[in-house]
Amino acid sequence: MSDVRSENKKYFNFELVHKDKNSNARAGVIKTPHGEIPTPIFMPVGTHGTIKALQPKVLEEHDIPIILSNTYHLEISPGSKLIKKAGGLHKFMSWDRPILTDSGGFQVFSLQNKSIKEEGAEFKLPNGNSILLSPESSIEIQQNLGSDIMMAFDECIPYPATEKYTANSIKRTHRWLDRCVNAWTNPKQSLFGIIQGSTYNHFRKECVDEVCSRDLPGYAIGGVSVGEGPEWMEKIVSYTAPLMPADKPRYVMGVGNPEDLFMIWEHGVDMSDCIIPTKFARGGTVFTNRGKIRIAHKNYRRDFYPLEPNCDCYTCKNFTRSYIKHLFDSNEILGAILVTTHNIAFYVNLARRARQAILEDRFLEFKSEFLKGYQKQK
């Protein structure tokens, strides 16, 4: 084992607190240099070092323990070297709690003009210049940012993918993982490996064996939420998660519909992230315990109730559906701010409620009750 992995154990730890007796759902605590993270946890996405339409103090008021930022976007602007000079991403964005940074692999996957080669991924920036993002440069950028959890640089396999493509891709991802480990020098930052394999169980098993043999602080299931649909997603997660080490955090990347969160939690996943609650908020979609509502709908013009009657977020304690509909009708930015505040509070509270249900061995009951009431609204 490398010295950095041994030293990292002083700064990063996962404690499995309780496993639900009726399912694989579990509650734990992740300890990092910037604080503890109770699990299961949903991480709001702050791609550019900010949760769109929210001030950091709102996140603190709702006791949100961790956010996610993106390597690719922060390197493009303002640049990781500048952020390092500013004291790291925590100081730069005035956030003193844990941060996880994605490696940039998914952003590369989503680009049209890219070239995947052994050295890394080459693509064009918005200004026309070409750049090569490699395992080494991804880790260098993330270490400049100073995130608590770094993600290994991998190739995100598209859906559908042939067996031949998948076989070649995962081998490259494993070679890239070793290069990421070799580039990792700061023990106060933790490196998570990513398990790919598309929809093939034998490849997922191969990836679990390969990636987890590196004895990293945590592991993620990648290559879901790439167009495969909810049935395939559940097949992948339900097969892969139980194979992963029980004493390390399990993370499913990019999953964010409430019904999907219950699915991954039931199969023993600890962490997830997605842009859904914030992106949908800016379009006027509100998440409630009774389902999603479109606040611009005509029904809410004379509705003087809060978005969620029993919600204690700032939005619900102070404003009505009628007023928020008016803000969206008037194209006022406050509308997006208020709905984002509520959606983030809803998601974080949902994870807290799930954790409490796990601790009380009633997770499946809580899941059934929630999904029964979670109906599609106007």
Q: Looking at the annotation, which residues are catalytic?
A: 102, 273
SS3 sequence of the chain: CCHHHHHHCCCCEEEEEEECCCCCCEEEEEEECCEEEEECEEEEECCCCCCCCCCHHHHHHCCCCCEEEEHHHHHHCCCHHHHHHCCCHHHHCCCCCCEEEECCHHHHHHCCCEEEECCEEEEECCCCCEEEECHHHHHHHHHHHCCCEEECCCCCCCCCCCHHHHHHHHHHHHHHHHHHHHHCCCCCCEEEEEECCCCCHHHHHHHHHHHHCCCCCEEEECCCCCCCHHHHHHHHHHHHHHHCCCCCCEEECCCCCHHHHHHHHHCCCCEEEECHHHHHHHCCEEEECCEEEECCCHHHCCCCCCCCCCCCCHHHHHCCHHHHHHHHHCCCHHHHHHHHHHHHHHHHHHHHHHHHHHHCCCHHHHHHHHHHHCCCCC
Q: Which of 300, 366, 348, 367 is nearest to 40 (CA)?
A: 348
Residue written as token pair 């519909």 = 257
CA distance 343 to 364: 23
Q: Which of 204, 107, 198, 200 is nearest to 158 (CA)?
A: 198
